[in-house]
Amino acid sequence: MKIVRVAIAGAGEEGFAAYKMLKEMKEVAIAGIADIDPMAPGITAARQEGIFVTDNIINLLMLPHLDVIIDAVGSANVHNIIQRNKNAITAVMEARAADLIISILLKKKEELLEIKSVKSQLSAILDSVQEAIEVADINGNIKFVNPAFSRITGIAEEERINQNIFEASPDGALATVLKTGKLVFGHRTKVGGSNAEVVSNAAPIIVDGVMDGGVVVFQHFTDVMNLMDELQKSTSIIENLTDKLGQVTTSKYTFDNILGSSMELKSCVDLAERSARSNSTVLLLGESGTGKELFAHAIHSSSMRREYPFIKVNCAAIPETLLESEFFGYEKGAFTGAVKSKIGKFELAHGGTIFLDEIGDMNLILQGKVLRVLQEMEFERVGGTQTTKVDVRVIAATNRNLRELIRLGKFREDLFYRLNVVEITVPPLRIRKEDLPVLLDNLIVKLNRKLGKKVKWVDREAQEVLSGYDWPGNIRELENIIERVMVTMDEEVITKKNLGMHTNQFKITHERDVDLVPIDQMEEIMIKKAVAKYGSTVEGKRHASQVLNISLATLYNKLKRYTPENTNN
C-alpha cells in the first residue's frame, strides 16, 4: 500500500483538526507541520509525537518526497509561497493535479472547435506535438495521425490513414468517443495493430453544434500509467479528507454546562456521568426542550472518545428518502445526482459518538439497518457492495413514548432494547423549578452578550410569576421568553411589569386570598385539573403525577376514588 506523505501549513484550529484526522489514517504519514506560533496546538502535539515542526514554511516545503500539502492558513501570501516553492509533483489540496490534465485536454478541444477545415489546419498545429494524435470522422474513418503516432506505435502514417477505427482499434478511446459522444479520460489499451500500451484521452469534435468526428491523444510509457494511478489515489484521499474535514464536528458542552441543583437533575446527571465512563449505548428520554442534546454532548465530552468526532443526526429533520444515504453514505452513481461518493454519518463518527436525535421518527426499514450497525458495527454504503466496519458509541434521544410506538407497530422492539442499555429521563422544568434562579442568571449573562444589554437580574415578584408557570416548552421556552423580554427593555432589572408587557403564556396576577376548602376537596380539584391539562393517556398521567409530586400508582388510586368512570383509562 502506497503511503501518502502529507505536510500541513498552519497549526491552529483548522490545522490541528486536520493533523488529528490524518494521524488516524494508516494510508497517510505526516511529514511535518509549520506555524509561526510555537505554542499552536498542532505544533505542540506534533513535537510530542516526534514529528518535524518548524516556524518557517520554506523548511516545510523542503521536506523530501511530499505528495500533498494541506494549506490550513488560508492566506493568499502563504498560498503563493507554497506554489512557488513546492516540488513539482507535490499536490496542493486546493488545486488537484488531475484538474490540470483535464484543463489541458479541454483547451485542446476548444482549439479544435474553432477549426472548420480539419485536415489542413489540424496537420499544421499538431505535427509538432510530442503526444500521439489520431483523428477520425463521424463514421470512424481515420483522417489524420501525427508523426508522434508513428513513433510511438510503429505504424506508418500511410498504413493508418483511411483505415476504419472500429476495425483497427475497436476497444480504444477513439472508437469509444465516436460511439458515445462523451469524453474519455485515462483509458488504458493497446493500439490496434501494435504492441504499444498507451494511456489515452479522447474527445468528440463538434462543428457548428454537431459532432463531426473524434480525436484521441495518447502517450506510450509505463511511468505515465503509474503516475496516473498515484494521482487518482491521491485525489481520492484528498477528496475524502476535504469531505471529512468539512463535516466532522466535536461536542460543544460538558456537564458543567448543565445547570441546577434539584434532586431530579442531580440524579439524572449522576447517571449520565457514570454512563460516560463506558461505551454503552445511552437512550435519552424527555419532553421537547429539556436539554437532551446538552446531555449527549456532555456524555461524549467526558468519555474516552472525546478527542474523536461527535456527529449529530436529527432523524426528524431529514426526509425519509434521504435518511439511509445520510446515515451510511453512498457510492458514485448509486442514484440520479450521485456524481461522487459521499461519506455517511456513521463513517464520519468512526472512533467517536453518533447522536441520533428524535430516534422515534425513524422509519421501520431504516430501523432494521441501524440495528445491524449496532449489532455488527458494519454497513454498506447505498449502491455499494463493500462492507465498512466502524467503531462508534451511540446516544439516542426522543420525546416520544417508544413503548407506545412499539405497541402500535411503529418502532422495532429489538432496536428499542438495543438502544435502551442506559436509560436517562431528563426531567422537565416544571418539576425542578428550584433551578430557575441559576438558569435565569446564566441566561441573562448569555443574552447580555448576544443583545448588547446590561440586565443584572430578575426581581422577586417576576421570579414568583415565572415559578407559577408550568413551562410546557421547558428550558427552550424559558430562553425564548427571557430573550423576548430583554430585546425591547432598557431597564437593568426584569420586573413583573416587563413580563406582562411581552408574554401571554401565563397570568401575571396571583390571587393572594382563596376560599378555604377541605383538603380532600382541594386534592380532588388538583387531580382533575392535572389530568385535564396533560390528558388521560398513560404518558399524560405520568406527567400529571410528576407535577403533583406523587407516584403514578397513587394517582391511579386517587382517580378511582374521585373519577370512577375513568378507572379503565
CATH code of residue 69? 3.40.50.720
Q: How confident is the model at residue 247 (pLDDT cuts 50, 70, 90)?
A: very low
Q: What is the pTM of this model?
A: 0.49
Residue 246 resides in a domain? no
- 328 and 209, same structural domain? no
Which cell numbers in the block locate residue 8?
Answer: 500541513
Q: Which of 425, 454, 473 is the last residue of a domain?
A: 425
Give me the chain's average pLDDT, please: 81
Kindly report, residue by residue over 481-502, the tens digit of the pLDDT.
888 888 878 888 888 887 776 5
Q: Is the pLDDT of residue 416 over 80?
A: yes
Q: Is the pLDDT of residue 386 over 70?
A: yes
Phi, psi torsion values for 86, nearest 5 degrees: -75, 160
- 421 and 275, same structural domain? yes
Q: How confident is the model at residue 509 (pLDDT cuts 50, 70, 90)?
A: very low
Q: Is the pLDDT of residue 138 over 90?
A: yes
- 137 and 63, same structural domain? no
Q: HEC string of 356-408? A: EECHHHCCHHHHHHHHHHHHHCEEECECCCCEEECCCEEEEEECCCHHHHHHC
Span of 148-152, 191-195, 456-460 with lowest mean pLDDT: 191-195
What residues are paired with 329 via a beta bridge?
343
Measure CA 104 to chain center.
34
Give me the sign of the Cα torsion angle 41, 42, 46, 49: positive
pLDDT of amino acid 330: 83
Under 8 Å between Cβ of 86 and 61: yes
DSSP H or E segment with residue 525? helix 519-534
Q: Which of 425, 453, 481 is the last residue of a domain?
A: 425
pLDDT of amino acid 246: 43
- 268 and 404, same structural domain? yes
Span of 204-208, 226-230, 243-247, 330-334 with lowest mean pLDDT: 243-247
- 110 and 38, same structural domain? no
pLDDT of amino acid 304: 92
Distance CA 186, CA 198 (A): 9
Which cell numbers in the block locate residue 517?
Answer: 376548602
Which cell numbers in the block locate residue 102?
Answer: 483535464
Distance CA 220, CA 90 (A): 23
Q: Is the pLDDT of residue 47 over 80?
A: yes
- 405 and 261, same structural domain? yes
Q: Is the pLDDT of residue 233 over 60?
A: no
pLDDT of amino acid 197: 81
Q: What percent of the chain has pLDDT over 90?
A: 24
Q: Is the pLDDT of residue 235 over 80?
A: no
- 417 and 277, same structural domain? yes
**Burial class of 449 by CB neighbour count within 10 A (0 to 12, 13 to 18, 19+):** exposed
What is the DSSP code string of 85-154?
A: HS-TT-EETTB-HHHHHHHHHHHHHHHHHT-SSHHHHHHHHHTT-SSEEEEEETT-BEEEE-HHHHHHH-
Kindly report, residue by residue over 69-124, the tens digit of the pLDDT.
888 887 888 888 988 998 888 888 753 332 333 344 335 445 545 544 555 665 66
Closest by CA position to 538, among listed 513, 550, 555: 555
Q: Is the pLDDT of residue 333 over 80?
A: no
Give me the sign of the Cα torsion angle 106, 108, 111, 115: negative
Residue 128 resides in a domain? yes
Q: Is the pLDDT of residue 274 over 70?
A: yes
Measure CA 480 to chain center.
28
Q: How confident is the model at residue 426 (pLDDT cuts 50, 70, 90)?
A: very high
Q: How many structural domains compose the chain? A: 5
Over residues 340-355, mean pLDDT: 86
